[in-house]
Structures are given as C-alpha cells and as structure tokens.
Structure 1
Amino acid sequence: MTDISRPHGFTIRPEPRSLGSALRGQEIIEGTLRLTGCSVDGDPFTGDAPTGELAAELHGFGWLDDLASVGNAKARDMAQSRVLGWIEAHPKPPESGQDDPAWRADVTGRRLLRWLFHSGQILPGLDKETAQPVFDSMHDQLAYLERAEATTGLPMIEALSGRVIAAMMLQGAGDKVGASMSDLAQAIDASLHKGVLRSRCPEALLGCLSLLGWVKQTASDLAIALPEEIAAAIEEVAPILRALRHADGGLPRFHGGGRGVAGRLDHSLRAASGPATTAQGHAMGFARMSRARATVIMDAAAPPAGPAAAHAHASTLAIEFTSARHPIIVNCGSGRMFGPAWARASRATSCHSTLNLSGLSSAKLLPPDGQGQERLTLLPQKVWAGQCDAEGNVLPADAPPAPPRQAETILSGHDAWLGTHGLTHLRELSLSPDGDQLDGEDTLAALDIDGRGRLAQVLTNAPDGIGFEIRFHLHPDVDVFPEGDAVRLALPGAEEWYFSHDLVATLRLEPSAYLERGLSQPCPTTQIVLSHRLTDDAVQIGWTFVRAGAS
C-alpha cells in the first residue's frame, strides 16, 4: 500500500448494479466458493489457489454478486472478510501484472467495479481507520489501470469501464475522469467492431452493453457529459441483443458464451434511450424465428476467423429452441472453464444441435499455436440462410418478416464437407404461427457433377456408406421419456412436447452435458440422436417438435 492514505469516501452513494445467485451466496457463507469447474473451501486467498481462468474468476470478485443476493449480516461479514483478506495478500499493484491473473487489466476492472457497487456490504462496521485500506487499494487499482494494457475486445472495455466508473465515484479521483472517459471512447470502435462483434459471442456483447450502461448511468447521476462514441455504441448494440433474445430472456449459447446472468439482458437494454427496435437481417450472424411464445435461433454464418476466433465453435446451422420460459433445444456450451478436454470437446459440431458426419466437424480445430490458442480452420466457404418464398427460394436476410398468421421459415445450408466428400448440408425449418410446432428437414446431398464425382470416390472406399447424426441436445430441466419411435419431453410447469421423425433414420437417446459459467461441474443432460448412413447422392430426414395438445 502507498504511504499516503487516499481520500475516504464516494462522490455518490454506491448501489449494487448486478446480483447473482442466493443459493451460491449461501454456499459461500458456509465455506464453499463454487467457481466454474471447481470448488474452493475455506479462505480462497490462502493456500493453493486456482490458476489461469479460474484465478481470473476468483480475483474478479464477480461472486460478490452472489453474496449480495443473500443480503444478511453473515453475507456482509463474509464480503468484508474476503475483501480485507485479498488486500492483505495483495498490498500493492505490480509494475506490470499481465502475467498474473489477479492483475490482468480486465480482472482488475471487474474487481474494482464489484468493490464499488457492493461497498454497502464491504464497509459497514468498519471505522475510518480500518476502512482506509479498502479506499487505498481502490485508488491504487485505479492508478494501476491507467498504465495496464488490456486485450482488444471485451477485456479492454471491462478494464476501461472499471477505470472510468472508479474515477467518477471515488472521492479525490475527479481529475482522472476526463482522460479515463476519453480512453474508453477511443477504444470503443476497435473493441466492439474488430473484437466483440467479430467474435460472434452474444454473451460478450451483453457484457459490453452492461458495462457501457453502468458508465452511462454513473455519468448521468453525477451530471458528467457522456462522449458521443459511448452513447452511439449503446444505441448500436441494443437492437442486436434484442434480435438475439430468446423467449425466456436468455441469450443463445454460441462461440464461447452462455445465457447471461438471469435478468441482466432486460436490465441492460434499458440503457438504450432510443426506440426499442430490433436489428434487421442476421444479427451477429444468427437467424431468428419467433412466433407467439416460442423462439428459434440458428447459427447462420461460418465461425469467426482471426484473432476474434479464440473461442469459436464449429456450430454452423446449429439451433436453439425455447418455449416461453423454458429452453428445450440447447447447445452444450463452452467447456473452456472445465479443463482442456472439455474445452476441445465442446467446440466440436457433435456438441451442437445440428447435423455432423460421424467423427467429423464442420470445421477443424488446430493444435495450440505459440500463444496456446486453438483456432478453427477448414471453415465452410459458403453459408446461407433466409426465409423461403412460395417457390422455395431463399430470400435476402433483410427481407421483411412473414405475416404473424403465417408460419416462419428458414432455408439454410453450408458446404463444409464439399471439398472432402462432395456434400452440402441443407436445413429447412418451419415454426407454426402459434409457436406450438417446429418442423425440420435436414438434407445431405451432392448437388452438382463435381460433388457427385467426389462422393462416388469416397463411397468406393466406404461400401457401407457415410455415417452421420442429427443431434438435439436438451436442456437439463427437460425430462425425457422414450415412447416407441417418438420421445415425450416434460418441461417444468407440466408443459409437454413430443419429438417425432419420418423413420428414415434410427432414433436413440444419449447422455449429454450442459456447460455454463458458474457451475462447479458439467451438468448431465440428454440428447436426441437421429443416425443414418448416406449410400446415394442424397438423403433427406424430417423431424418435428410439437406441444402436447396442439391442434
């Protein structure tokens, strides 16, 4: 800690901006902190602490949101104890801390925000002398963020937003507001357009909107002018996230992201001041169907490439399907917080709700490079998706939506296996006007002379045909009951759906896993699998999800 005590106090009364899980908060009080992929018993800042991304999760103090959800005296005592323990273990920022997860710029910004927002839990009961180390540490962390470097994208926005809000809220830091706000405004374009939007990770985009919304709210409370770049970014991001919003308020779990903290999307959208418009066309590369209380979201573009592709998945044409408040079809999610094996496995096409050739994804995962990054290659060269007209032609992505009384359709395809097998995957979806029935048809075909020639060569060496599967990973809250050639799905609240198919393929149920940030281990669930073998130029398989009792 520095020798000179920093000012003691805030410019405005801090209020919690985000809450977590009261259940996890109670577990923390009882001595167990559940991080993604592991549990830490006792004081997490003594003994053998987690490393890597788990350490970043620990030192970012996002779990203070869970304690805030409990909100009793024990929760306040625990929050205070853990913050003071961290300060004792980390009395002074390093000159350069990018190799230490605790001092990564984005982690420091995240930690500073949580300490500010939850200071109502951290400071009560402390006199001025015993509270002084907390203020000293926050000022030291703010000074550290002025020289720390963050990776372009969400990490940079997280670091700079923490710096801006701390400068606005901490007594005696007012002279840092102008430079901090200017740096954030200048970083918006590169971090948003060259980083987050290219990553095609919806949860990362929500993270940006939440952070910028907190900056906007704090500036408004203090009558501080907000740079136009920040206001414009909020107005740009909000319509995209509205287009990606499932019926239950969650986000589609693609390219390394999860559903988002419950309620955060709706709360963050309030930061936008313009009309509640929805982005037209394929928002962030995703196609959406919405009817009544049902939504379907499809990955309708190739996986991201370049620096933004560090967590890309081979999920082209995968879908998620939600009925009212209950997700039905999901993807496995990101396994990078559950260890290397889960990280690699979760990026494969078989961990997504789409068709894959047996043992072959729609993109190849390369071995780690010199920076330890594993990137996808052999991406689909052509991916298309759009509504169908009466003749079955694909309409442009920005075509007006079908009238509400008509079924909503998507005709899509990709050519990932054209070079190796001469094959194209076509997927046609239809969601009924009442949202009670989702029909699908998956086609695997050689569409031209070159493709048929290449397929014939492959079949020469595979007389039994080319195996493939169509997978539907189910949310863990869905109970599954096989009924002959169909499957009954029981959702929470006594709602039931049925899955059936045209009997071309063989139906089976297999174990699956649901991976989500905040879970201490993967959650077991079930997947419906339709398997078949291609022995000719084309095969077509139809399937249906229908709500029980639907006419």
Structure 2
Amino acid sequence: MAAPHRNGWRARQDKWLNRANARLSGLSHTARRFVSQPEPRAIGDVARGRQFVAGNVLYAGHLVELGAQSPWNITPPTDAFEDALHSFFWLDDLAALGDAPARKTAQAWTADWAERFGNGTGPGWTPALAGRRLIRLTQHAPLLLRKQTKEGSDALFATLSRQTAFVARRWRAAPPGLPRFEALTGLLYASLSLDGMDRHRAAASAGLDRECAARIDSEGGLPSRNPEELLDVFSLLSWAAAALADCEAKPGPEHQAALERIAPTLRALRHPDGSLARFHGGDAGPEGRLDEVLAASGIRTRPGEGLHMGYGHLSAGRTHVIVDAAPPPMGAVSPDAHASSCAIEVMSGRRPLIVNCGPGRTFGATWHRAGRATPSHSTLCLEGLSSGRLARRGGAELMVDGPRDVPTDRARIRDGHRFEVAHDGYRASHGLIHARTLELTIDGRGLAGEDLLTTLDPADEKRFERVIAGQDLNGIAFTIRFHLHPDARVAADPGGASASIALKSGEVWILRADGFTDLTIEPSAYLQKTRLKPRSAQQVVLSGRAMSYATRVRWSLAKAQQTPDAIRDLAIEAEDDEDHE
C-alpha cells in the first residue's frame, strides 16, 4: 500500500512543481532579480568558512576531514551532525568568506545535495530542517547564482520550488517553538523571494503571528528559558520582519509585539562582551550575533529591573551579574533544563569571571547529564545532589521534579543594589530552603553574598532531624561552588580563607568566606558547543555542614585594592584553538 500512496504523492508534487516552474517565467526573471540584489549582510564566520573550503567540517562536537570529497559522501557521526549539514548552516560561513573558493564550494555542495536529496527523499526532509535550508538558500542566492550556468540556476530554483511546497504542506507538523518558527520563516522567505510562491505569504505570516502569541510570554521569554534559543527565535522574527519590509509589507501585530518584548529580555541576558548568559542548555551564542540582530531590529527598549524570562540582573561599574531566579522548565518543555536555581554568572568588563559549566550535549550523554546537575553551576548544592531530578521519558531525560517556589526581591540600598532569591528544591528531601542574597556596590568593585539553609515550619524541622539522624548527627554536607572561566587564574592565599582570581585584563579579584567553611580550589570544566572537547578550568569550593535549623554562609568577591576602576582592555588575545572550530 505504501508504494501507490508514495507514487500518488510524487505525481502531485511533480504536477505542482511543473505549474510553479511555469509561473517562474522560465526562471530567468527570478534569477536576474536575485543576482541584482545586494549581498545580504554576512551572519557567518570567516574562519569557519576557510575551514569548510579546506574540507574540515566541525559540528556537534565532531570534526570530519572531507578532503576533496563531498560532505554528502560521508556517514555522519551523529544525528546532530547530520542535521547541521542538512540545515545548510555552512552557507552562512561560506557567504561570510565570500571569495571565489568559497563560492565554488557553496555551489558544489548545494548542487550535489539537490542531485542526491532534492527529490524529497532521504535525510533532512523535516519541516524545520527544510525551513532552515530555505532561509539560507534565499539569503545567499547571490552567492549561489554568481557565475552560475543556466542548468545550475534551473536546478537551484527547482529544488527551491520543491522545498517550498514541502514546507507549505508540513509546517504544522514541526514541534512548537524554535522548529516551527524555522519552518514558517523559511516559507515566508520563499514566498517573498520567488516568483510564483507568493500564494504562501499570507499563511506563513499568519502562522508566525499565531506562534508569537502562543510561545512568547509577557516577559519576552520562551517556556524553555534557554537564552540562546531565544536569540535564535528573535533572529528569525527579525529576518522575517526585514524581508516583509523589503516588500513594503509589515509583520502581523503579534509578530511585531513579540519583537518588542524579546529585545529588552535579550539585553538583560547580555553580558558586557556581547555574549549570552549560559543557562538551561544555551551557550554564549555566535560571536557578534546578539548585537547584530538587536541593532538591525531598530528596537531600543532597555530592560527594566524586574525578572526577564526568569533571570535577574545586577550591573554597576564594570561588573555584571545574572541570576537564575525561577523554577527550571519541567517535562517536555525543554530536554535541556538544568538544575541551576540561584546560580550566578559574573563578568568584569568583557572578561568572564564566575560562570556555569555550560551545555554538554555535544560531548555525549555523560557530559550532557553532568552539565545539567547542580554541582556544575555556581550555586549551593546539598550532599552532591541536584535541586532537580531527571528521569527518562519518551527517549529523553527530562526534568520531572525540582524547585516549584522561587521567590525573589530586589531593592536599592544605600551603597548599591540588592537581589534576593530562594528555592525549595531541597525541601522535600531535607526540609531545607536555600536562600541567596547578593549585594553589588554602586561602583561595581564588590559583590557580597550570603547563602542560607533554613527550615520554615515544624514539618520541615522533623524532616531535617530525620536526615541528621541518618548522618550520625554529623550534619548535612553542602558545597558552594564558584566555577571560573578557563582564562581566569586562581590561587589560594596563605591560610586558606581566601583566593585570588586574576583575569587577562590585569584585574585581580579576591574571594573570601567566613571561617565556618573550608575553601578549596578544584578542577572544573567549561563546555562550549564549538569545541571538540571540554576546556579545563578551575573552581573555588566552599564546603561545610548544616547542623541546625538555620545555617548561614557569608562570602565576598571584591577587586584587589591595586586594581584600578578603569582598565584599558581592548586587545583580543589569540585563543587556544587546537580543538576549536
């Protein structure tokens, strides 16, 4: 039964394609229109473009050396690697390079893909992946059509037609969220760029409008709480709005309202170096992408002092702090949710100081799980246990239990800013609430912290006593971790009550804790999607034991006295790129 159905589908597709090709007026008019357009602003990376020209492909933590062969000849090492290839992300980087070898590589890889997979079969034919391809193929059509033969341009427009038909039929099957935004944006691009495809414009624009209303909350955030995913969605919506403006059209009201809500949220999640806070599966984002899309959007709204997508932020002088101040996303909302409540990231100027380990998915299941655990974040952890529990559901490990109540409070104090946050992730297991208070001085030279473990009612006290009894009355072990960026150098000061942290800018920060805890320096790891392996790093760990209903630990992070307020920190050091993209 499958073959007749498939043949019938193929016949309908071929009929549609023939009709669409006829409306393209022989394709020559559309080809001329594409070639006459200015080259779109590069959104890729020149260095990666050179690597592709050289035959080196690095995706999803795997490096494949192609040599002179086509990328479609290889057996992809992982599904994520294969998806990245079929998404045509490499076109961004080749277009950013833009020279003759880059153009020839882009044209050869595209033509080979169209010959092998352009008939609608094989990997890569999901609505989201097809949407990603349509975006790249239309954005970078000038590169693909430059010095192209008629046969080559005909083949390109034929595959564009077939992919547009596929997305038009199947975009509703894309999972809600980023995949559906990708499918709809690709469909809108094709409808605006190709003659004969304008029939899909209304449906694509209306679909984007509905998705914005359903998926972008009042804070300008996503249910996944992934900052990098929010940047991806904002980029798609901005590109779609710009494409409509080029055709003297406007985005729908919900589309425009979503852009207005997301922009200040992304600014709140932006560190001074232009990177994003790394929480809930998100990385720092491609270099320069955040600032580029914010500037191109034309939206100048600044973030308020409230929460943005569940994150709080403090800023003074050269110091910037971002706090995870909301419950983690539960269940299928996010397969990358982290147990990171109350965790912080701290930047000094454009230098990362206190970080979280980051997303480990590209390094395999073990690193993925480890990166999601509470000990991989700069926060307090009880007995090495995460504040949230993971369980396998439908082939994925999802957050199924964790903090439900995460109250916050923010206030201006006489000499700076105060932010308070707490979570109940350990209440059911230990009877304890974790509360964290952060005070940033008005000049940004000092951050004072307090971590409190406390019971709230008699039921909590009984639960705490039972746990203590099981520990032979030795108390409940806890750690407060401060993961450091790999570029930071740390040394324990004599006496073990403090640690000195030196940044490449020349700044020196001193981390001190009260005498109630032991201060040690331990290995850590910094996980980046663009690396072949985790980077080695260090962490400062405060260890102690909770013996009573209330345990308080005070610590401070302050610039050394000899560190000036203003530092000329403009040089960009060559990065250790032995395993970098």
**Aligned equivalent of 2:197:** 173
Residues 1:133 and 1:407: Cα distance change in structure 2 (over 3 Å): same
- Report sequence identity in percent: 39
Distance 1:280 1:482 in 2: 35
Partner-residue secondary structure (3-state), 1:20: coil
TM-score (normalizing by structure 2): 0.86
Query: Are positions 1:542 and 2:567 aligned together?
Result: no
Query: Are positions 1:375 and 2:398 aligned together?
Result: yes
**Aligned equivalent of 1:72:** 99
Structure 1, 143-152 or 492-501: larger mean CA deviation = 492-501
Residues 1:206 and 1:18: Cα distance change in structure 2 (over 3 Å): farther
Deviations, residues 346-378 of structure 1 (Å, cap 9, x unaligned): 111111110111221001111x22x21222123
> For 1:123-162, what aligned pairs fall within 5 Å after superposition?
123-148=145-170, 149-162=173-186
Query: Are positions 1:528 and 2:540 aligned together?
Result: yes
**Aligned equivalent of 1:50:** 77
Residues 1:35 and 1:274: Cα distance change in structure 2 (over 3 Å): closer
**Aligned equivalent of 1:236:** 261
**Aligned equivalent of 1:493:** 505
Query: Are positions 1:225 and 2:250 aligned together?
Result: yes
Partner-residue secondary structure (3-state), 1:181: helix
Q: 2:453, 2:550 within 8 Å by CA — same for their partners in 1?
A: yes
Deviations, residues 227-285 of structure 1 (Å, cap 9, x unaligned): 22211211121122222222222221111111222222222223555552324521111
Distance 1:191 1:153 in 2: 7
Match of 1:248 among 253, 262, 273: 273
Partner-residue secondary structure (3-state), 1:258: coil
Whichever structure has more helix as a proportion of its residues is 2
Distance 1:208 1:497 in 2: 36
Distance 1:311 1:495 in 2: 34
Residues 1:481 and 1:24: Cα distance change in structure 2 (over 3 Å): farther
Structure 1, 240-249 or 192-201: larger mean CA deviation = 192-201
Partner-residue secondary structure (3-state), 1:224: coil
- Please report the RMSD computed on the Cα atoms of aligned residues, expressed in angstroms: 2.4
Partner-residue secondary structure (3-state), 2:209: helix
Deviation at 1:17, TM superposition (A): 4.3
Q: 2:313, 2:321 within 8 Å by CA — same for their partners in 1?
A: yes
* Max Rg structure: 2
Deviation at 1:550, TM superposition (A): 5.0
- Quick one: which amino acid aligns to residue 55 of structure 1? E
**Aligned equivalent of 1:458:** 467
**Aligned equivalent of 2:143:** 121
Q: 1:312, 1:347 within 8 Å by CA — same for their partners in 2?
A: yes
Stretches of 4+ aligned residues off by more than 6 angstroms: none
TM-score (normalizing by structure 1): 0.90
Deviation at 1:433, TM superposition (A): 0.9
Q: 2:351, 2:505 within 8 Å by CA — same for their partners in 1?
A: no
**Aligned equivalent of 2:334:** 309
Match of 1:384 among 397, 403, 407: 407
Q: 1:14, 1:117 within 8 Å by CA — same for their partners in 2?
A: no
Deviation at 1:536, TM superposition (A): 2.8
- Quick one: which amino acid aligns to residue 92 of structure 2? D
Structure 1, 28-37 or 268-277: larger mean CA deviation = 268-277
Query: Are positions 1:516 and 2:528 aligned together?
Result: yes
Deviation at 1:139, TM superposition (A): 1.7
Q: 1:153, 1:190 within 8 Å by CA — same for their partners in 2?
A: no
Unmatched 5+ stretches in structure 2 = 1-12, 565-581
Deviation at 1:192, TM superposition (A): 2.8
Distance 1:379 1:134 in 2: 50
Q: 1:196, 1:204 within 8 Å by CA — same for their partners in 2?
A: no
Match of 2:481 among 471, 480, 490: 471
- Quick one: which amino acid aligns to residue 460 of structure 1? A
Structure 1, 488-497 or 28-37: larger mean CA deviation = 488-497
**Aligned equivalent of 1:391:** none
Q: 2:352, 2:485 within 8 Å by CA — same for their partners in 1?
A: yes
- Quick one: which amino acid aligns to residue 307 of structure 2? H
Match of 1:287 among 300, 312, 324: 312
Distance 1:261 1:82 in 2: 23
Q: 1:22, 1:69 within 8 Å by CA — same for their partners in 2?
A: yes
Q: 1:14, 1:118 within 8 Å by CA — same for their partners in 2?
A: no
Distance 1:69 1:480 in 2: 38
Q: 1:478, 1:492 within 8 Å by CA — same for their partners in 2?
A: yes
Q: 2:60, 2:80 within 8 Å by CA — same for their partners in 1?
A: no
**Aligned equivalent of 1:481:** 491
Residues 1:492 and 1:249: Cα distance change in structure 2 (over 3 Å): same
Deviations, residues 41-63 of structure 1 (Å, cap 9, x unaligned): 20321131233222212211223
Partner-residue secondary structure (3-state), 2:165: helix
Unmatched 5+ stretches in structure 1 = 389-401
- Structure number with greater CO (CA < 8 Å, separation at least 6) is 1
Deviations, residues 166-201 of structure 1 (Å, cap 9, x unaligned): 211123322322222222223322233499621111
Distance 2:378 2:131 in 1: 36
Partner-residue secondary structure (3-state), 1:178: helix
**Aligned equivalent of 1:421:** 430
Distance 1:230 1:14 in 2: 26
Residues 1:126 and 1:288: Cα distance change in structure 2 (over 3 Å): same
Q: 1:153, 1:192 within 8 Å by CA — same for their partners in 2?
A: no
Partner-residue secondary structure (3-state), 1:387: strand
Q: 1:154, 1:192 within 8 Å by CA — same for their partners in 2?
A: no
Q: 1:108, 1:145 within 8 Å by CA — same for their partners in 2?
A: yes
Deviations, residues 448-474 of structure 1 (Å, cap 9, x unaligned): 333222212111110232211111111
